[in-house]
Amino acid sequence: MRILLICALLLAAAFLSNAEWSEQFTIAVADEQLRPIPDASVYAVYQLNSRDGLVKTRPKKTDANGEVNFTLFNNEFNTADSNKNYNVYASFGNESKTISMVAGAGHPKVIVMYLRAYYLYVRVTDHRNLPLFANVSVGSKTIETDARGQAFFQVPYGSSTIKVARGGLTIPISVDVTNDSVQEVQIKNYDLTVRVLDENGKPLVANVAVGGDSKKTDAKGEAQFGSIVDSAVEAVVSYKQVNRSQAVDLDVESEIEFVMDLTPPEIRDIGVKVEDGIGRVTVYAQDPGTRASGLSKNEGDIKVKYTISSVDAEVAAYPVGYNLYAAEIPSQPEGTSVQLTISVADADGNIATNSTAYVVRSSGGGGTAPPPEPKPLPTPLPTPTSQQSFPIDPMLLGAALAVVVLLAGAFYYIRKKQEEEGGTQGGNAGAAGGAGATGGSIQA
């Protein structure tokens, strides 16, 4: 490699020694404010010799300082036929300039060529005016915006086209540049969280599609979507064989929830009462789950099919109470056996069925007993007030009565004893009085 370089230098030296003239110079391209213009195109046209005439150098691009170096050789051996005049051409976009020079005329080593060019700042934000990362192109130059959402360009005077690309979306913008300017570009950039739960609020692992993006929900049942450029989208959720879709206005909401009701309704307490051959069917139905879709309100989604002699017919059930429905089977002759199939659907399309049968009896008999009425909850005892007595304990009442009897017996015994002692004292006093009287008579 070193040998080749040495040979090239020797050839150049030999060529220069035989050249009529040579010229080395630097072209600096700048704007009207003396700011360098990188990527400007510069070339020179000069005489190679009298036989080949004028030749054009390979165009060169200015560097970051707006500069480019040239070396020109004229190999004409006849001085009289040598032409030392040459032109240098610089262009930037649709701006161009030409200067004429003479070899050996003592021009400066750095020759400045002025073109009209201006600074263009492109700022990309979302609908909330927050900066966005995007690829911005002007002409053949592409720059990614920085953390402030900005990309800087130096562009020629006149019309330019800005292209802003992000997430598969490209926005072209035509601008007329006559001075330094800032171009604001707003791209709608929405985020959306889709949450998928079952009828009891537990998270489900499901497939979620929004626009052209598809994801699986995580352990919390959530799928996160970002960089959505359209405010109106459709979210589609697939879980096993169940599909749900919902239109979303991202200007209004950024989170949506799908509740996949996977459990069919419950049917119980089927009762049939027959009067005059007419069977009145009652049934209790509910859709279990704290987040269940609820029983369908569409006509015919809660129905009773009855079969008589292998012939099917059906009637719609109607509500007669909370989760209680009834249907009437047309009057049938005595002894008719009627097979019943009750069908109940919820709002998400899950269907439950249950069956029973009855036989029409005479005098309005037949059928099965209607479902019992729900038992009321026990009424709590009222709180005693000043006008209410407290409940009496039987044992306490018995003890009180025993005390009363004992006290009464003791009182009666004392009273009886006192009466007996009073009678004895009265008899003794009478006897003593009689004896005194008799003695007196004898003395008289």
Angstrom distance (rounded) from CA 315 to CA 312: 11
Predicted pLDDT at 363: 59
3-class DSSP assignment, residue 167: coil
Predicted pLDDT at 17: 52
Predicted pLDDT at 2: 62
Predicted pLDDT at 423: 52
Angstrom distance (rounded) from CA 294 to CA 345: 9
| 304, β-bridge pairs | 315, 342
Out of 20-29, 152-161, 367-376, 388-397, pick the least confident. Answer: 367-376
Class of domain 266-364: mainly beta
Predicted pLDDT at 31: 96
250, two tokens: 């991202």
Query: What's the chain's length in residues?
Result: 444
Which one is predicted more confidently, 403 or 32?
Answer: 32
Looking at CATH, the fold of the domain delimited by 117-186 is given as Immunoglobulin-like (2.60.40)
Angstrom distance (rounded) from CA 224 to CA 213: 10
Whether the pTM exceeds 0.85: the reply is no
State pLDDT tens for residues 103-137.
988 888 899 999 999 999 999 999 889 999 999 99
Predicted pLDDT at 402: 74
Predicted pLDDT at 74: 94
pLDDT at 375 over 90: no
CB of 356 closer than 8 Å to CB of 337: no
Task: Please determine whether the domains at 117-186 and 266-364 fall in the same fold group of CATH.
Answer: yes
pLDDT at 429 over 90: no
Predicted pLDDT at 390: 47
DSSP 392: P
Q: How confident is the model at residue 389 (pLDDT cuts 50, 70, 90)?
A: very low
DSSP 105: S
What are the extents of the domains in the chain? 2-114, 117-186, 190-260, 266-364
End-to-end CA distance of the chain: 196
Class of domain 190-260: mainly beta
Predicted pLDDT at 269: 92
Looking at CATH, the fold of the domain delimited by 2-114 is given as Immunoglobulin-like (2.60.40)
CB-based burial label for 340 (10 Å; 0-12, 13-18, 19+): buried
Mean pLDDT of the 358-374 span: 62
With a pLDDT cut of 70, the percent of the chain lying above it is 82
Predicted pLDDT at 405: 72
Nearest Cα residue to 207 out of 183, 241, 171, 156 = 241
Mean pLDDT of the 312-333 span: 94
Q: How confident is the model at residue 435 (pLDDT cuts 50, 70, 90)?
A: very low
